[in-house]
Structure 1
Amino acid sequence: MKKLLLTMSAVTGILLSAGCPLPTHRGDTSGDVTPQRYAITVNSTGEVNGEKVTASVSEATEGTIVTLSATLDSSTRKVSFSTSESGITPHTIFTTNCKTTFIMPAKSLAITATFADKPSAATPDNRTANTVSFNMHYVHSGTFTMGEDMTTPAPEITLTKDFWMGETEITQGLWEAVWGLTWPGTAPAEVPGDGDSYPAYNVNWYDAVAFCNLLTQADDSIATTELVYYSDADKKTAYTKEDAKNNVPVYVDWSKTGYRLPTEAEWEYTARYKDADNSVWNGGDHVSGGPEYTNPEIENYGWFNENSHEKCYEVKRLTANALGLYDMSGNINEWCYDWIASYKPISQSDPVGPENGTRRILRGGSWSFGEEYMRVGNRYNYTPSARYSTFGFRLCRTAY
């Protein structure tokens, strides 16, 4: 079953939900028979300093919307919920001002609430899909200046939700384990690089979106109800490889926690990361984790046209940034979700770009690009249907 993550302020009441659809009520509707009521119990473990979870009611009829309220000791704490009822997905809650509920099943329900500290920044989470392992690193929410040292205006951006970011670009080994051996475009070659540990390339934006859904389905720890991408405006039909082949428009459910592409803001936030807790960031003219792009030492942090010998390289060969993320600068340009648009001269929270456009964002530069493209504030864009040996992507997931 799938876990949802929520960050909480000190001693804040939180509401949770499994997001199950409201079932059609069954039973006598004549009013002559009293509907059966089922018990709800909440058992807690790991709580400190008065932390607790309470249900809005102690018993309810089938189909009743039930609210759980949690009180946490501080913003560094979390509470996870689990139940043996297969119709209800457990969640891990980390954030403030979130209201969720679950639908009462036709049986008594025992819920376990497990309190613990939330992960520290850069904490890796090892995942497995079809026997291939990969790491996601934890990223705390926060505020930064996007495009600083690169452009005017440089808006203040706040990311309100914690998220996970891929330790590396998607590798060819993970791609083939999830997608299959037949590539959507030209298969990798010896030049620029072929092998399980090399980054996947020659994939367009639509391919990347379809892959994210496939990976969510392949990861047994994530409920298939948490798919992010859909081919219909009602968000009922999952986006597929066939949709990607035909460049079908994509609809996004941002409330879901399956795998997805990072937004441009999430990408730059993690690329600049140095010490967010103390509001210390690399400048936009730096390479990720390293010095300014004019410093010769950048060759220790990314592959570009001066050190690549006209090829890409296996991931994790150079120095990671402060979050433990490799190749954020260089090696392969990374697709982001957003359509390209000029920055707005206003503060924003959780921007995802314009609703429509003709070109999608790529970030980071590549093995064939110059050092100026490796700057963490540099923006690049291309038509989303394009496949090139310098185009790949990195995974992201909302944490709760």
Structure 2
Amino acid sequence: MKRVIIIFVFISLFFSCTSLQQPDLQLASMEFKHIPKGEFDMGTAKGSSDQQPVREITISQDFWLAKFEFTQAQWLGYMNKSIQEQRDLANPDWSLRGVGPHHPIYYVSWNECQELIAKLNRYYAKEIPSGYKIALPTEAQWEYACQANYSPKPLMDLSTIAWFDGNSDEQAHPVGKKNANRWGLHDMYGNVWEWCSDRYDHYDANELIDPKGPETGKVRSSRGASWHEGAGDCYSAKRDWYSADGRLYNLGFRLAIVPKD
């Protein structure tokens, strides 16, 4: 009897001290990689003022991030609009920069992403883990997940992980053709910029746990750079912004499954 009790106590202590790896999630054609909670240094002292100050951020709960950027086939399937129709909503005279079912969608606004997200949360309400929802990632979640990658260094061949102006032929490419980071995420650098949920502003240096950005503002943040940017712009702290109702030829998104507010 004592032996059984000792074994039970040992097992209880083991599981209470060990963070169990959660499984990846599959919702129809969308694959989400599990991202464990943790801490990381957000921002960079070498970048522009909107990437400072560098501070340690806590991601207090696990979440899932899409393995790939959202594709043109997925957008057509859920929103019934082709890349050509999305382009026409922006400006019919603008060019298409990469067309195909496995290419990332672009010319989509932040507001349109919210329409899609509302639809997906209804469709998959019974399949999403309890206490979670489909959303765009926060900037903190995005940068944390990106840093699982080997940050670009002078001797690294960036072309193995990213489409940028040095190898893109001035267009987006099918998702997943470059190497993934250690959490299994593809195209975190380059290909298309990715909308985040946050409003854009300079960082609040006191917001250190699950930061979500300012509560007011008309523009939204994006991350990751694109096929249009140079190698020097492909790093985890790089930020940009655009109007929530605006559409660009190199701006898309990837979805996340995050804790509900």
Correspondence for 2:187 = 327
Distance in 1 (CA, whole Å) between partners of 2:123 and 2:110 is: 20
Which residue of 259, 270, 282 corresponds with 2:145? Answer: 270
Q: Does the CA-based 8 Å contact 1:361-1:381 persist in structure 2?
A: yes
Q: Does the CA-based 8 Å contact 2:72-2:82 persist in structure 1?
A: no
**2:39 aligned with 1:143, yes or no?**
yes
Quote the offset at 1:332 in angstroms. 0.4
Structure 2 CA distance for partners of 1:333 and 1:175, relative to 1, 3 Å: same
Distance in 2 (CA, whole Å) between partners of 1:75 and 1:211 is: 39
Correspondence for 1:389 = 249
Question: Which string of whole-angstrom CA distances, capped at 9 and with x for unpartnered residues, describes residues 275-328 of structure 1?
Answer: xxxxxxxxxxxxx43522x54611111111111001110000011111100000
What letter corresponds to residue 146 of structure 2 in structure 1? A
Q: Does the CA-based 8 Å contact 1:213-1:258 persist in structure 2?
A: no
Distance in 2 (CA, whole Å) between partners of 1:290 and 1:350 is: 22
Distance in 2 (CA, whole Å) between partners of 1:313 and 1:187 is: 20
What letter corresponds to residue 115 of structure 2 in structure 1? A
SS of structure 2 residue aligned to 1:360: strand
Structure 2 CA distance for partners of 1:309 and 1:182, relative to 1, 3 Å: closer
SS of structure 2 residue aligned to 1:212: helix
Q: Does the CA-based 8 Å contact 1:158-1:350 persist in structure 2?
A: yes
Distance in 2 (CA, whole Å) between partners of 1:152 and 1:258 is: 30
Q: Does the CA-based 8 Å contact 2:31-2:67 persist in structure 1?
A: yes
Quote the offset at 1:344 in angstroms. 2.8
Structure 2 CA distance for partners of 1:157 and 1:303, relative to 1, 3 Å: same
Q: Does the CA-based 8 Å contact 2:137-2:258 persist in structure 1?
A: no
Quote the offset at 1:72 in angstroms. 9.4
Q: Does the CA-based 8 Å contact 1:50-1:73 persist in structure 2?
A: no
Which residue of 208, 218, 222 corresponds with 1:362? Answer: 222
Superposition pairs of residues 1-400 of structure 1, within 5 angstroms: 49=8, 73-76=15-18, 117-119=20-22, 123-128=23-28, 133-150=29-46, 151-181=51-81, 185-186=86-87, 191-219=96-124, 221-222=126-127, 257-273=132-148, 288-292=149-153, 294-295=154-155, 297-346=157-206, 348-398=208-258
* Structure with the greater alpha carbon radius of gyration: 1
Judge which range, 369-378 or 153-162, deviates more: 369-378
Quote the offset at 1:118 in angstroms. 4.2
SS of structure 2 residue aligned to 1:334: strand
Distance in 1 (CA, whole Å) between partners of 2:101 and 2:138 is: 26
Question: Which string of whole-angstrom CA distances, capped at 9 and with x for unpartnered residues, describes residues 106-125 of structure 1?
Answer: xxxxxxxxxxx542xxx532
Q: CA-atom RMSD, angstroms?
A: 2.8
Quote the offset at 1:156 in angstroms. 1.4
Provide the TM-score with structure 1 as the length reference.
Answer: 0.55
Question: Which string of whole-angstrom CA distances, capped at 9 and with x for unpartnered residues, describes residues 156-200 of structure 1?
Answer: 110111000000100111111111136673269994111211101
Structure 2 CA distance for partners of 1:378 and 1:270, relative to 1, 3 Å: same
SS of structure 1 residue aligned to 2:116: helix
Provide the TM-score with structure 2 as the length reference.
Answer: 0.83
SS of structure 2 residue aligned to 1:157: strand
Structure 2 CA distance for partners of 1:345 and 1:310, relative to 1, 3 Å: same
What letter corresponds to residue 122 of structure 2 in structure 1? Q
Quote the offset at 1:217 in angstroms. 2.1
Distance in 2 (CA, whole Å) between partners of 1:396 and 1:157 is: 19
Structure 2 CA distance for partners of 1:180 and 1:75, relative to 1, 3 Å: farther
Distance in 2 (CA, whole Å) between partners of 1:178 and 1:49 is: 49
Question: Which string of whole-angstrom CA distances, capped at 9 and with x for unpartnered residues, describes residues 224-273 of structure 1?
Answer: xx9xxxxxxxxxxxxxxxxxxxxxxxxxxxx9522100000000000011
Unpaired runs of at least 5, structure 1: 1-47, 52-70, 78-116, 227-254, 274-287
Unpaired runs of at least 5, structure 2: 1-6
Identity percentage over the alignment? 30
SS of structure 2 residue aligned to 1:49: helix
Correspondence for 2:4 = none
SS of structure 1 residue aligned to 2:40: strand
Query: Comparing both structures, which one devotes a greater share of its residues to strand?
Result: 1
